[in-house]
Chain A
């Protein structure tokens, strides 16, 4: 059993607090304070991100309740989320 931190209630990824092996159960606290168990779909190194639900290509990846990237491939629930399947969102002119 491993643990993950869901930082914001709207996030679709969480940060694992120890290295996770494929098939391992990962426990995190959801937006309502309930304990949720998730099965890891692959290796997730310590402090890396795990998908809390399926994320479609082009969909926003949310951490801190904000967009940290966009999925470049289908990401299954429990999968490692990193540079291989997300990239920076397209930049917007600010002014």
Chain B
């Protein structure tokens, strides 16, 4: 199996060719967006973090930013910083340079003399970068170059019965073809962790799976909270999911039945020589989970939603799938794939999995997912503490 992508100077292969205007903090986010709006081929997003953070949160923010810039779907990056934020422009640029040798510039609003002067300079740099990017041609690569992120959000009972098992078939197929699949959302392993632990490659991976779940639980307990009071959400419950454990047992179907090869911390790079099914320690929150997987190097995401969600990413296709026929009919503008026939027509997940795998490869070749075509860019970051 093959797809058409762009070989990057760091050896990874992208399926999009974006210029990323990367805001180092919330204070640079509108400016970054104004720059991206001026240049065809440039993308940006609102960065809620990057300032007023304790070291652990600062590290999550730096890893997210560096990872998105290093993501192979990005040709090059222009970092835009306010100047006084926790994640200083130079730190963000160093973190990016530690992961990739792709084109990189940095500009600071307080040094350039305000946003208008910075925007003028940044638009020129972005225009040049976009023109360089546009000269690249797609080449054929084996699917072993792909890292597929899997996500579920706005789940209902159809997610665990139909949509996630179909995604699981794609996961197993891509793993069999030599590629890499990420199972994410540590919160939604709670109650299903023993199933995952039993599928670990070795004792180290088994222990890591249990550790990330235990750490997630303890984080809330230390703050006097119970994760179950926020998850399932009101929409999950209205749909018919009663407990977090029920939601989790549906969630983990996205990973299929493959052996779990490794566990990665949030937004850390997934080495290109590790193949097969891996876990990333991410929150159940969709926007931050997806950002973590993209920072890890995933080029594409498949996202199941029983209730329906428009969510997308500035740098990658996010293919939406539902197992709920009514949701598909109601939200067909936002949802790419209907897995409801598993329930309504007793189709096998494997049958629909073949069609979804083809859709994934078509998107890799350049076809826009609905979230991409409509311009959705929601991006968030895992957090440990409140703002300081």
Contacts and interface: CB of A to CB of B under 8 A. Distances in A.
Interface of A: 5, 7, 15, 17, 45-49, 63-64, 66-69, 81-83, 86-89, 91, 93-95
Interface string B214-229: 1001000000000010
A63 B250 CA distance: 10
Given A94-B193, A94-B213, A45 B240 contact: yes
A88 B156 contact: no
A7 B237 CA distance: 19
A47 B240 contact: yes
Nearest to B217: A91
A49 B250 CA distance: 14
Contact of B249 (A47, A48, A68): A68
7 contacts: A45-B240, A47-B158, A64-B249, A86-B242, A86-B243, A87-B243, A91-B217
A58 B241 CA distance: 19
Nearest to A67: B245
DSSP majority for the B interface? helix
A68 B161 contact: no
Interface in B167-222: 190-193, 195, 207, 210-211, 213-214, 217
Given A47-B157, A83-B243, 16 more contacts: A5-B343, A46-B240, A47-B239, A47-B306, A48-B157, A64-B249, A66-B195, A68-B191, A69-B245, A81-B242, A86-B243, A88-B243, A88-B245, A94-B210, A94-B213, A94-B214
Contacts of B207: 95
Contacts of B190: 91
A11 B217 CA distance: 27
A88 B249 CA distance: 13
Given A69-B245, A95-B210, A5 B192 contact: no
Contact of A15 (B157, B214, B249): B157
Given A15-B161, A17-B343, A68-B191, A49 B240 contact: yes
B154 to A, nearest CB: 13
A35 to B, nearest CB: 14
B161 A69 contact: no
Contacts of A88: 191, 228, 243-245
A86 B246 CA distance: 11
Contacts of B191: 66-68, 88-89
Interface in B297-319: 306
B299 to A, nearest CB: 31
A55 to B, nearest CB: 13
A-B pairs, top 6 by smallest CB distance, nearest first, are: A68-B246, A48-B240, A47-B157, A94-B210, A47-B240, A94-B214
Interface residues of B, number: 32
A68 B243 contact: yes
A81 B161 CA distance: 17
B237 A83 contact: yes
B353 interface: no
Nearest to B209: A94
B14 interface: no
B160 interface: yes
A93 B244 CA distance: 16
A5 B323 CA distance: 14
A46 B237 CA distance: 12
Contact of B161 (A7, A45, A66): A7
Given A47-B158, A88-B228, A63 B213 contact: no
A87 B226 CA distance: 13
A15 B160 CA distance: 11
A46 B249 CA distance: 19
B144 interface: no
B239 A66 contact: no
A61 to B, nearest CB: 8
A63 B249 contact: yes
B25 interface: no
Contacts of B237: 82-83
Nearest to B247: A68
Contacts of A48: 157, 240
Which of A66, A67, A68, A95: most chain B Cβ within 10 A? Answer: A68
B115 interface: no
